[in-house]
Amino acid sequence: MQRKKVAILGAGITGLSFAYYLSKYHPNIEFVILEESDRAGGVVFSEKKEECVFEWGPRGVRPKGKGQVVLELVEELGLWEALVFADDKAKKRYLYHDGKLQVLPHSLRSFLFSPYLKLFLKAFYKDIRAVKHDEDETIANFVDRHFGVELRNLFFDSMVSGIWAGDVEKMSVSATLPLLKKLERKKGSVIKALSSHKAMSVGSKQYSKDITSKALFSFKDGLQTIVEALKEHLQAHIEYDVKLDRIDFSEQVEIVVNGESRFVDELISTIPAHKLSVYVKSDLSTLLNSIHYSPVAVLNLKLLKSELDFDGFGFLVPSKENSVVLGMVANSNTFPQHAKGNWMVNTVMMGGARYTVEELRCLDLKEKSKAFLEQVFGKAFTIESEELKMIDKAIPQYELGHLDKVRQIEVLSPKNLTVLGNYMYGVSLIDIVLKSKELAKNLIR
């Protein structure tokens, strides 16, 4: 029987995209989005400051493969003319370790002349002899078995820190890098299986190679553009500054909001795990609270292009360097439209799983960031303006056993509660939009 009334908790990108697809596939369903703050978008947040764009959350989306789902959404929202695609500089990425920047291979030529060539060949040889391991394991264990400790300490450690602000020795390879585990199950060797691997179709419009070959896409005014379009499309359904007092689950869901009861047939929660835990029974609450989050400090810097000679997307820092800095993204190298004239904008990411938010607050992060950049580039430079934001529970950690937790959450959730969010099925904007589309389309059951 089709449900007539739906409430969605949270107006972040998950709640907005779910609501968009709900209205698209089930236009006869009545729904409301309840947001506790005074703005929509959640972690997707762009600010324009004196002709420059500061990104405080994600800053680009990959158009290849599953990213075409987001491109399709962009087109449906009428935003195609606002799109910007990454400059070719975005393909050039670096690692900083042992006192210098090293470019990562981004073409056949750069691979053949890479200082890491011997390390890669050694890792390939090790992987070809690898055997299957069916159980979930940490990223560290998986990479050590297939490619070796040295490759893990340099590349996978940096990647996991940069994407998830996480710890390779705690995070689940099955949850964070499922393709690697899938390839292993096919042939034991990742490299052998990769040679015959074909990406699965994601059920969206397919775009030309001219578009999907680009490293990333964003918008002239930053990723906030897609939030603003979704917000405008759904404005009649969003309520802000909502105080959620209580939720009771029975045949209908009773939601007590600002002291008043409302009844709906289905509740979709897109709020963080620790926030939802307050409103559900103890077994589900305990499970939700067991999902850890890493704190991240984001520092946006505006400076003259002449101050910094750097030609890539950014660089990552392995944890062996013992720095609070996880890496730097050269935003205006990637999207020149995000800094006008002679200005450039860089973002420094700090913290992650190695720090608590209390430890980060005790550090002079602006000073540490500047000192680290001067060490990396071998010169002092002048910063025109800078702004720091501390995000306590920034990125959920998909630790060992995470997929089991997700299955348990699904089982323990009341039949009229659907749990969504970046702590369930993927942290990227692509994963979020893809899962929101799937669940909204199949809501009637």
C-alpha–C-alpha distance, residues 11 and 19, integer Å? 9
Query: What is the pTM assigned to this prediction?
Result: 0.94
The range of the structural domain enclosing residue 361 comes to 292-396
Judgement on whether residues 378 and 403 belong to the same structural domain of the protein? no
In a domain, 427, yes or no: yes
**Mean pLDDT in the chain?**
94
Least confidently predicted of 185-199, 243-257, 394-408: 185-199
In a domain, 104, yes or no: no
Question: In the predicted model, what is the mean pLDDT of residues 182-207?
Answer: 89
Judgement on whether residues 422 and 307 belong to the same structural domain of the protein? no
In a domain, 414, yes or no: yes
C-alpha–C-alpha distance, residues 328 and 326, integer Å? 7
For the stretch 389-406, pLDDT in tens is: 999 999 999 999 999 999
Judgement on whether residues 244 and 258 belong to the same structural domain of the protein? yes
Can you give the CATH number for the domain in which 381 is found?
Answer: 3.90.660.20
What pLDDT does 420 receive? 96
For the stretch 131-188, pLDDT in tens is: 999 899 999 999 999 999 999 999 999 999 988 999 999 999 999 999 999 999 999 9
CB 57 within 8 A of CB 223: yes
- b vs e for 388-414, b when ≥16 Cβ sit within 10 Å of the residue's Cβ? eebbebbbbbbbbebeebbeebeebbe
C-alpha–C-alpha distance, residues 47 and 21, integer Å? 27
Pairing of strands 83-85, 217-219: antiparallel
CB 223 within 8 A of CB 41: no
Question: In the predicted model, what is the mean pLDDT of residues 315-327?
Answer: 96
CB 154 within 8 A of CB 210: no
What pLDDT does 3 receive? 57
Judgement on whether residues 297 and 349 belong to the same structural domain of the protein? yes
Question: In the predicted model, what is the mean pLDDT of residues 422-435?
Answer: 96
Does 90 have pLDDT greater than 80? no
> In the sheet that 244-249 helps form, which strands lie side by side, from edge to edge?
244-249, 253-257, 260-264
- Give the residues across from 292 on adjacent strands: none
Judgement on whether residues 285 and 308 belong to the same structural domain of the protein? no
361, containing H or E segment: helix 357-361
What pLDDT does 1 receive? 47
Encoding tokens for residue 244?
Answer: 């959620």
Judgement on whether residues 275 and 407 belong to the same structural domain of the protein? yes
What pLDDT does 2 receive? 53
Does 32 have pLDDT greater than 80? yes
Task: Read off the pLDDT band of 430 (50, 70, 90).
Answer: very high
What pLDDT does 443 receive? 83
What pLDDT does 363 receive? 97
What pLDDT does 203 receive? 83
Does 445 have pLDDT greater than 70? no
Question: In the predicted model, what is the mean pLDDT of residues 20-44?
Answer: 95
Judgement on whether residues 307 and 376 belong to the same structural domain of the protein? yes
In a domain, 194, yes or no: no
Task: Read off the pLDDT band of 250 (50, 70, 90).
Answer: very high
Judgement on whether residues 310 and 377 belong to the same structural domain of the protein? yes
In a domain, 135, yes or no: no
Judgement on whether residues 255 and 378 belong to the same structural domain of the protein? no
Least confidently predicted of 148-157, 267-276, 361-370, 435-444: 435-444
